[in-house]
A and B are shown apart, each in its own frame.
Chain A
Amino acid sequence: MNNRLPTGLYQPGDSAIHRLDALAKILCLILLLAAVVNTTTIPGYLVLTAFTALLIRLSGVSLASALGSAARLRWFFLIILLMNLCFYKPEQAWVSWWIFRPSAEGLMQGIHVVARVFLLLVMSNVLTITTAPLAMTGAMERMLSPLRFVGVPTDLVAMILSVAIQFIPTLLEETDSIRKAQTARGARFDSPRLLEKARAVLPLVVPIFLAAFKRADELSLAMEARGYRTDVKRARKKYPPLRRRDCFALLLCTALAAAFIVVR
């Protein structure tokens, strides 16, 4: 089966957001998260929601994809909202019925929690959807690289991340093959009985671990044959410098973060 398996959430595209540098995007996300965490008023949330909607629009991604995990959590959000509403500040309740004491503070607290988590999730989704996994690992490598001055082997970490990510589709396919082979031998993965389900884990997990180790073994041999060595410094990868649009995005997000921190 050669036509399957997308590489995670990433959807290739050519929007303004797609074309931003990955590191700039990660830094922007951090700044925007700072803004989100420092919002305390409803208008504040509305501004950020509008901004997020603008980002989604600019990225050319469907609303459903952008909401993604956040949409799946909607019932959870509702429960959190209701629980905060009813139990947060029982002393200042409007009404009182059994154990439920809804209050204005409770409502506000609920909104804080839900809105913040929601915005965080959606903004992160926009990042992962518009950034190729390879660009992400490159950006992470750049972020970590100052750590090399304190002895952290950032080159190795970056290599490990990059290799691990590219193995994901292969290992997923292998998991599927193993599951089918064991099912054909009578393993019961879909059994409703908990004990059987637990026992079914071993015939799946042991072969996958073995397969993963075997692949790692073979790959490290191939890497060595291609000259990979950890004892000598490799040429540091040169990344293209940040462009105007990246600087603009960073400035914008810094301004937003500053505004929200100051205004509070």
Chain B
Amino acid sequence: MPIELRGVSYTYAPGTVYESRALDGLSLRVRDGEFVGVMGRTGCGKSTLIQLIAGLLKPSAGQILLDGEDINDKHYDRDTLRRKIGVVFQFPEIQLFETTVARDVAFGLRHFGWTVEEKNAAVREALERLGFDYEAVCDKSPLGFSGGEKRRLAIAGVLAARPEILILDEPVAGLDPLGRDAFLQLLDELNRAGTTILMISHSADALAEHAQRIVILKDGQLLRDGPTEEVFSDHAALKADGIGAGQVRETVELLRQRGVDIPADTVRYEQLLSAVCGRWPR
């Protein structure tokens, strides 16, 4: 059980006029190799959740366990946390700062005790994974690239550590459609290779295609947690909670309202296509 949250609460600015409860008694378990989509309206606690799991915030109550160990215990080795979990925040390109691409991508590897060869190999692998030609970019300044390229460099910097768990906060925000598709494909590959993925997203279509499980937060609490098809099948609930159901699910809902017999758990494009072909023969 890689990640486990037990009754976790978090309060911002306690005791001041700005106090607010971001998470309220949340319990969650993420299994090895899962691809979990995290959804919820702005302010529901999603960002707080991932910061807590990444050990960047300490819970006001409850425990967070990584492979059975409490990450906030004073004897817990923080380096293990940094090695096992990689975090891609929104607009990660702001974290670029080094003089060369190679150095920046290698930044996260300093405290692992790897040899120089191991580090170089990891940097090369990460950059190539993100579509860069290592020789062409390794000595360039990361700041001279375009916005989309900078984002890929920042993500390479996170992947270089080969994290077992990857947490992402709306990683494709602001990317154009081709960039989005390419990145989601990469996530698929990583997930198939065994990386556990936790991704915050507003796009039900993207999550339907890639995530096996959906978790929906509301006001700091777990609203829904289940397999993707199951969570997305309840259209009325999604709407009531202000969650966009995506183009595929919307189409299915409209068809169902017209009396077309199409199952509510049709959430992926290919499923929609087959269902439509089935109902409308040549």
Contact = CB atoms under 8 A, between A and B. Distances in A.
A185 to B, nearest CB: 4
A182 interface: yes
Given A3-B20, A186-B111, A181 B13 contact: no
A174 interface: yes
A203 interface: yes
Contact of A186 (B47, B51, B107): B107
A203 B82 contact: no
Contacts of A186: 79, 82, 107-111, 161
Contacts of B96: 207
A2 B42 CA distance: 10
B158 interface: yes
A262 interface: no
A207 B111 contact: no
Contacts of A1: 12, 47
Main secondary structure, interface of A, reads helix
B89 interface: yes
Interface in A207-227: 207, 210-211
Contacts of B107: 185-187, 203
Contacts of B116: none
Contacts of A3: 18, 20
B150 to A, nearest CB: 11
A211 B13 CA distance: 26
Contacts of B43: 2
Contacts of B87: 181, 184
B223 interface: no
Given A3-B18, A4-B13, A185-B108, A178 B56 contact: no
B97 A181 contact: no
The range of chain B's interface size is 20 to 34
B108 A4 contact: no
A235 interface: no
Interface string B35-53: 0000000010001000100
Contact of A207 (B51, B86, B95, B108): B95
Interface in A189-210: 202-203, 206-207, 210
Interface in B72-111: 79, 82, 85-87, 89, 92, 94-97, 107-111
B89 A181 contact: yes
Contacts of B110: 186
A154 interface: no
A2 B143 CA distance: 29
Given A177-B89, A210-B143, A184 B54 contact: yes
A180 interface: yes
Interface in A60-100: none
Contacts of A181: 87, 89, 92, 94-95
A196 B87 CA distance: 22
B59 interface: no
B244 interface: no
A206 B161 CA distance: 22
A181 B158 CA distance: 10
B95 A182 contact: yes
Quick one: which of B79, B87, B143 has the most chain A CB within 10 A?
B87
Interface in A36-65: none
Contacts of B82: 184-186
A124 interface: no
A145 interface: no
19 contacts: A1-B47, A3-B20, A6-B18, A180-B89, A181-B94, A184-B86, A185-B95, A185-B107, A186-B79, A186-B109, A186-B110, A187-B107, A188-B111, A202-B97, A203-B97, A203-B107, A210-B94, A210-B97, A211-B94
List the 8 closest A-B pairs by CB distance, nearest first.
Answer: A206-B97, A184-B87, A185-B108, A181-B95, A186-B82, A186-B108, A180-B56, A181-B89
Given A184-B85, A184-B158, 8 more contacts: A177-B94, A180-B56, A184-B54, A184-B56, A184-B89, A202-B97, A203-B95, A207-B96
Interface of B: 12-13, 18, 20, 43, 47, 51, 54, 56, 79, 82, 85-87, 89, 92, 94-97, 107-111, 143, 157-158, 161
